[in-house]
Amino acid sequence: MSFSYKPLWRLLLEQDLNKTEMREKLGISPATLAKMGKDEYVSMEILDKVCTHFEVQPNQVIEWKG
């Protein structure tokens, strides 16, 4: 089981933002962004920052890949 950040990347396209702009606005590290790009685990704190910034629910940021 794993998760995908495809919904987040779609959200960035809709918001006309790139990954670097998002990283800078949220204050997350390049390493964390790289993990997200590889669909790897990031902390709930990071997911909370993303959801709070975009005012969305977690399912609009990640999806479960069964």
Homologous superfamily (CATH) of 2-65 is: lambda repressor-like DNA-binding domains (1.10.260.40)
Binned at pLDDT 50, 70 and 90, residue 55 comes out as: very high
Nearest C-alpha neighbor of 19 from the set 9, 10, 27: 9
Tens of pLDDT, residue by residue over 11-54, are 999 999 999 999 999 999 999 999 999 999 999 999 999 999 99
Output b/e per residue, 23-59; b: 16+ Cβ within 10 A: beeeebeeebbebbeeeeebeeebbebbbeebeeeee
Residue type for 25, please? K
The confidence score (pLDDT) of residue 66 equals 81
Write down the domain spans for the chain. 2-65
* pTM listed for this prediction: 0.91
Span between the terminal Cα atoms of the chain, in Å: 5
